[in-house]
Structure 1
Amino acid sequence: MRLRIRDPHGAARAVAYLMLVAAVYLLVTGVLLKLGDPVVELAALGVVSVAFLLVGLICLRTPEKLPRLFWLSVPFVSAGVVTGLNLATRDTSTGAQLFYLWPLLYAASFLSRVMISATVAAISAGHALLAFSFMDGLHAFNDWSALTVAMSMVAFVVAALVERNDRLRDVLEVQATQDALTGAANRRAFDDRLAGTADEAAHGGRPLALVMIDVDHFKSINDTWGHATGDRALRTVAEALRDSASGNDHLVARLGGDEFAVLLRAGPYEAIRYAEQARTLVEAARDLPCGPPRLSIGVAVVPDHATGAEDLQRVADAALYRAKAGGRGRSVLAGDAVALN
């Protein structure tokens, strides 16, 4: 997205620290060290210092109170302030130009490529105004072009590093929440989703179904046909569980070994239909040397059978136990006396 803000928390901290440091710097160098200058100038700098301090505190403590446009405008306002101060002091030195690095690094770290390019353009335009106002033509052109090229290179390198870091973080997040063998979510991702959705369903939200699945006699598959065939069987089950759900509002997880769980936004009978569809898809598999594995399934729903995450797991596990005790290869809905097989 062209106007997205990457890492809003980090952006808020960056602006807060800049404003707080700038407030102190301006108060010391612009007011305290220049006592005796015209009172109007000292008062103006004092007011600006206080304004910087207040903005910094807001960004640090309650950044959510500031509109989205504020965070997008930060690099342009900062570049404008730097340009204005350099013009006011007629300072064309390299040290003065280095202050442009802050809005550039902010944009490269937290904003999109379009906003980064716009920031570089704003910095280039601001320095052009300064350079061509106080330098001779050739010197001004050389100084302006050198700064523009340098800022562009810095922006490109920083943006590339930030994007690479984002990609690596995304990979790590997937690895931390996904089962490597089946591509299903792992226990950690399942627990996180269950905790939030079960509480929502218990307090008037859409019903949440928990479908607990065991692959029947999985140990004998591994012992007889080898672990490679067992792995293929698990992948077949995970694929069937994903394909049986309509839409994207579900989570298929492998909890460990041959145990799977599925979270569905569904009522009791929709959930049991899902379970039967999954069993049918697995039974239709014809590419496994061991033949299609059979599934024992227990189903429970919040709020119909449980009032929270822990209660839902307990009731679904009890339904799964009944499916196993009743001969395996069947689905049991919590509270029902009849199992589907």
Structure 2
Amino acid sequence: MEAPAYELRDLHGASRAVAYLTLAASPYVLVTACLVPGISALTLTVAFSIGIFMAVIGVVCWRRPAVLPRAFWFLAPPVATMVVAGLNFATHDASTGAQLFYLWPILYTANFLSRRVLYANLVLVFAGDAATVFAVLGTQKGASDWVAMVLAMTMAATVVQSLRIRADRLRDVLEQQAHADHLTGLANRRYFDEALAAAGGWAHRTDGSLALLTIDLDHFKAINDTFGHAEGDRVLRAVADALRRVAGDSGVAARLGGDEFVLLLRMGRRAAVGVADALRAAIADRHDLPGGPPGVSIGLAVLPGDVRTVADLVAASDAALYQAKTSGRGRVSVAGERHNVDRVPSFVPEPRP
């Protein structure tokens, strides 16, 4: 899965990576600047300034990364590349040890930023290293050294990025499994709870309406007892298919457990009643199930029309469902009023001989 062109994948990991680099590089710059023979006073002053600046940046990244602007995390690898190239060029150091410092911006970009940003930073690394090795080692030796560095850095970037892509795919699979009901493929209770909290925040910010439908199959135990659990599972999947058809792009359909389902919609009462009617019609259209389509009872509540919080929305929808079941099943009951529709024939199996 390719990240968007300018996505920062992990602020915590990126901040730690920058902190490790700067806090380790700061004393290195200070010490090596003092050990270089014949270094000018100006170069020594610049090196000390860079070392102190790195230490400050490292502490900020470690302790307060959120205060840094978002662009900082994208500028960190090219700035690090230019610093390494500048120090190598200023000290005329074309050794393997000096070139290994280019690994940090490469690995950082491969792990936390997108492929496009990685390619751009690779080009910058290759250019910065070429400026040093050709000036210090000459054309022939410099070309050999530079080609070896290009191959090594490219291989390192490729390996890290491929591992990152595999980790992303595994994470996506695990998240999907953690949020999905294994039988129906709908969202599970965990995901529904998260979606409900998010929708509640949205409704509070925008003064929008939320409708919650709680759906229960009528006489589901009788279906299992008569036809077996395998056929009962087919009925549950049929109801799930109908829920997916009517949920829409913004709706969240979930199975809470057993034969209880919910449908969370960002709409008002009238539209939600229409969805409830459409759901019952979609279920009634299934003629491939044992005993015909199952009957369903639906409780509907609306925020803010009926309640003020999402917790009360769940309770009001449950209470409406209870009213629908106690008043004859096979109907929609709306919190505060009852909306009766043409009943979908409920399955009532004949008693066993």
TM superposition score category, shorter chain reference: over 0.9
CA distance in 2 between counterparts of 1:118 and 1:24 reads: 29
Displacement of 1:276: 1.1
Change (3 A) 1:107 1:24: same
**Contact 2:234 / 2:289 at 8 angstroms: preserved in 1?**
yes
CA RMSD between the two structures = 2.2
Q: What amino acid maps onto 2:110 in structure 1?
A: A
Aligned equivalent of 1:339: 340
CA distance in 2 between counterparts of 1:182 and 1:330 reads: 23
Q: Give the match's secondary structure for 1:299.
A: strand
Pair 1:271 & 2:272 matched: yes
Aligned equivalent of 1:11: 14
Pair 1:251 & 2:252 matched: yes
Matches within 5 A, 1:124-273: 124-202=126-204, 205-246=207-248, 248-273=249-274
Displacement of 1:241: 1.2
CA distance in 2 between counterparts of 1:276 and 1:39 reads: 83
CA distance in 1 between counterparts of 2:145 and 2:51 reads: 30
More deviation in 160-169 or 195-204? 195-204
Q: What amino acid maps onto 1:120 in structure 2?
A: L
Q: What amino acid maps onto 1:14 in structure 2?
A: A
**Contact 2:247 / 2:253 at 8 angstroms: preserved in 1?**
no
CA distance in 1 between counterparts of 2:183 and 2:303 reads: 30
Question: Is there any run of 5+ residues in structure 2 with no aligned partner, and where?
Answer: 344-353
Aligned equivalent of 1:20: 23
Displacement of 1:284: 0.6
- Residue identity (%): 49
CA distance in 1 between counterparts of 2:66 and 2:52 reads: 21
Displacement of 1:277: 0.7
Displacement of 1:202: 4.7
**Contact 1:264 / 1:271 at 8 angstroms: preserved in 2?**
yes
Change (3 A) 1:199 1:115: closer
Q: What amino acid maps onto 1:151 in structure 2?
A: M
| TM, length-normalised to structure 1 | 0.92
Displacement of 1:178: 0.7
**Contact 2:332 / 2:339 at 8 angstroms: preserved in 1?**
no
Paired residue total: 339
Aligned equivalent of 2:321: 320
CA offsets per residue over residues 59-116 of structure 1, 9 Å max, x none? Answer: 3344344344332222221111111111111111111111111011001101111221
**Contact 1:202 / 1:308 at 8 angstroms: preserved in 2?**
no
Aligned equivalent of 1:295: 296
| TM, length-normalised to structure 2 | 0.89
Displacement of 1:310: 1.7
Q: What amino acid maps onto 1:52 in structure 2?
A: M
